[in-house]
Amino acid sequence: MSAAIVFASGDDARATAIGDVMTGSIEIAARQIPLPAGDWTVVASGTNALVTGSPGAYGTIENAILARRADGRIDGLVEINVNRLPVADGWGTAADCNRTDGLATVAFYKTPVDGFCLFVVPTELGTVNAPGPRTWDFVRPLLHETAAPTPVWLTAGFRVSDRHDILDVRYHLDPRAFGLGNLTVSDWSVEAVLTKPDRFKAVNQLTAWGSLAAGPVEDGFRGAMTGRAAAASLPNAWEVAVLKEGTAPSADPLGRTSRSARLAALDELVESGAIAASDHAAYLKAIEDAPPPPTPDDYYRLLGAKVVSFNFFRVSVDYILAFVVTVNSLISGYITAAIVATHSVAQVFNDMWWDSYIQAQASAKSTVVDFVYIGVRREGVS
């Protein structure tokens, strides 16, 4: 980063100082944030404010912005928000995790007290009056110090939180890195992206990259990135192969709970002498034989089996009752068919109504906690 960087005000107690050049990861308030390849300079550091939600007495929200320079211009920004004081009952989710118009949204898990999600959205941060936290005032001029920046950037964001702490990290990438030029926000709507193969590919690359980065982000949130994991950079999103439907991922998932990482940890235990080789074989087999985590498909498969078994019972009872009354197999068949048809339709509409009701209830109860973000316009924030 050049000497033209304007230094924002910062906390002297902060481990990372403005101007520090980071590779691999950065640590803020005991949370480690993985970084894509390259040198990332801390260009601003300060505190942020909540714009929605009330998680309790959280002290201050630490905010930092890192920038990477390539070919004389900034091609990537990392925006980080973490809490200083722990709360008791969780932090809720981010509005971007609930968006229905986002380019991609993945909820890795979500409960009332913790959550982890990935979202891919366009962010209009390249305009001269792009809003943001106070620290953004020091970074915005850097974007405009050379040629006019791309107005709309692509953002892959993560929100991970538990009962006590939160990490909100947003990786803003210049679409030019994906071979895309100046586009407007409407050009990045889902409908527009679906009609343009180059944009579709970029979004898929960023989503695939997000899936890869998710493990290290969660590890870093828990301060569990150690050794090589903390030093290794994430790949650049435009270098990630897009996963084709029906094919296996070309790269193993990252993160300490991934299967490959767990097997590697087991190997290290043997090498260090912590476990005997014979025991290693037993553990290895158990980990390799362990069933994969359940998926929504598993749930729906079970639900389908449940519906089929119950309906078989119901149809049988309907037919028997009809036959007892009519003593006519044909009429009993018609009655049973009529009951099945009407009940099936009624069941579908009943399920739809209850699903909608439950979803509305869940949304009403869901706590959204958001900070001031770069390029995000909200009421009362400019």
Place of tokens 């074989």: 281
Residue type, 343: H
217: tokens are: 């982000």
* Type and span of the H or E element at 138: helix 136-143
Query: What is the contact surface with another protein in residues (CB under 8 A)?
Result: 109, 111, 113-114, 162-163, 222, 224, 256-257, 262, 265-266, 269, 272-276, 278-279, 282-283, 285-287, 289-290, 293
Minimum CB separation of residue 62 from another protein in Å reads 22
Minimum CB separation of residue 29 from another protein in Å reads 18
Question: Helices (DSSP H) in 7-107: which residue ranges?
Answer: 95-98
Minimum CB separation of residue 169 from another protein in Å reads 19
Nearer to another protein, 176 or 256 (CB): 256
On whether the CB atoms of residues 253 and 215 are closer than 8 A, the answer is yes
Minimum CB separation of residue 105 from another protein in Å reads 20
Give the C-alpha separation, 378 to 382, whole Å: 7
Nearer to another protein, 113 or 381 (CB): 113
Nearer to another protein, 19 or 223 (CB): 223
Place of tokens 């493990």: 215
105 pairs with which residues across the strands? 119
On whether the CB atoms of residues 111 and 89 are closer than 8 A, the answer is no
Minimum CB separation of residue 255 from another protein in Å reads 9
On whether the CB atoms of residues 95 and 370 are closer than 8 A, the answer is yes
38 three-class SS: coil
Residue 21: CB atoms within 10 Å: 12
Minimum CB separation of residue 13 from another protein in Å reads 22
Closest to 28 (Cα-Cα) out of 36, 280, 20, 316: 20
Minimum CB separation of residue 267 from another protein in Å reads 11
On whether the CB atoms of residues 27 and 343 are closer than 8 A, the answer is no
Nearer to another protein, 128 or 265 (CB): 265
Closest to 175 (Cα-Cα) out of 195, 194, 148, 203: 203
